[in-house]
Chains A and B, each alone.
Chain A
Amino acid sequence: MPMKSGFSHNRGLEKMADKSTKLTLLPVARIRTIMKSSPDITVIGQESLFLITKATELFVQHIAQESHSRSQNKNSLVYGNLAQVVDDDIAFQFLADVLPKKVLARDYLQSLENNS
């Protein structure tokens, strides 16, 4: 499913941010800590940090809304909905390890048998 450009849904995020004088909803300091946990990351400027924080917020919005649109029951969101998004959207391929589609035990055992 192609990604919408411009994100008309983002007005939701804008409204949330306007409630306070902060520029971001997620704490910038925490995002910096997460980044720094990777040893090869060099120096990052303050504005770049804000950008990545904002991008992460957009990502949450993106994945939450895409997952919800795939759920059968519009009142709930379950793991399966999230996993589905990884399959459908190429940009989310990087999440394949984090969101593996749950495999039925017997299918797994079957594949083990096939490989031996």
Chain B
Amino acid sequence: MAESGTPEDDLSVPRAALNKMIKELLPSVRVSNDSRELINNCCTEFIHLISSEANDMCNKSLKKTISPEHVLAALDSLGFGAYLEDCRSVLEECKTVAAKKRRASNRLENLGIPVEELLRQQEELFARAREEQAVIEQEEWSQLQAAQAAQQQQLLQQQQQQQGNGHVQPPAPANHAQDSAT
């Protein structure tokens, strides 16, 4: 056993997690400290063993990433075929959890509506808003025109009234120059 800590020694399964596992697997069994330490070392060796074998299988398959299939094949070829069944069910759980997370994150952000639908709705709202704005502007313009027309009408009537009452004298030839100012 190494006395001084080399960097490799720090790379092991956390002792607390391991102790907890051992405690629950073998309740009321006194497990000596050096046994625990050894189980820890065995874990590290196991991890290296499986990763190395899985890596070899990955290289042979000309793929870049170590896939679950590589790991399962490695376990089988190294004599740990008995682990396969339980490993496969964890794999299924993994996939289910990952799929749930993707669906959940979509829903939470968008109140249960998928992104494509939201974009479509947004576009509809924009189009409708543009239409309504155009109608409003048209109405305002019509109103403005109507108001102007009414004003002109009023002025015209006033003028006709004043002429009828005789308040405004038809311009005399002599005063022609003055009246032309109105």
Instruction: Looking at the assembled complex, report how far the CB atom of B12 sits from the nearest CB atom of chain A, in whole angstroms.
Output: 7
Interface centre among A23, A44, A48 (most CB of B within 10 A): A48
A24-38 contacts to B, CB under 8 A, are 24-27, 30-31, 33-35, 37-38
**B34 sits at the interface (CB 8 A):** yes
User: In the complex where A43-B66, A45-B65, A48-B66 touch, is A77 in contact with B30 (Cβ < 8 A)?
Assistant: yes
For the side of the interface on A, what is the size category?
A: 35 or more
The residue in chain A whose Cβ has the minimal distance to the Cβ of B13 is: A26
Residue of B nearest to A9 (CB): B25
Are B67 and A75 neighbours in the complex by a CB distance under 8 Å? no
* Interface status of A107 (Cβ within 8 A of chain B): no
Contact of A7 among B21, B24, B85 (CB under 8 A): B85
Q: Which residues of B lie under 8 Å from residue A41 when comparing CB positions? A: 51-52, 55, 66
Interface 1/0 per residue, A82-107 and B, CB below 8 Å:
10000000110011001100000000
- Given A34-B44, A51-B72, A56-B47, answer yes or no on A74-B29 (Cβ-Cβ < 8 Å): yes
* Chain B residues with a Cβ closer than 8 Å to the other chain, count: 62
Interface residues of B in 1-52 (CB under 8 A from A): 8, 11-14, 17-18, 20-22, 24-26, 28-32, 34-35, 38-39, 41-52
- State whether A82 and B11 are in contact (beta carbons under 8 Å apart), knowing that A4-B82, A16-B21, A61-B25 are contacts in the complex: no
Q: List 26 A-B contacts (CB under 8 A).
A: A3-B81, A7-B83, A7-B85, A12-B24, A31-B13, A38-B48, A42-B55, A47-B67, A50-B94, A51-B91, A52-B71, A54-B87, A55-B87, A60-B21, A60-B22, A61-B21, A68-B26, A68-B29, A77-B26, A77-B31, A77-B35, A82-B38, A91-B78, A94-B46, A95-B42, A98-B42
17 more A-B residue pairs beyond the given contacts A44-B51, A54-B90, A65-B25, with a C-beta to C-beta distance below 8 A: A3-B81, A13-B25, A27-B17, A30-B13, A34-B12, A41-B51, A45-B67, A47-B94, A48-B70, A48-B71, A55-B75, A58-B83, A58-B86, A75-B29, A94-B46, A95-B45, A98-B41
Chain A residues near B (Cβ < 8 Å): 3-7, 10, 12-13, 16, 23-27, 30-31, 33-35, 37-38, 40-48, 50-52, 54-65, 67-68, 74-79, 81-82, 90-91, 94-95, 98-99
- Which 5 pairs from chain A and chain B are nearest by CB? A91-B79, A76-B30, A44-B66, A54-B90, A77-B31
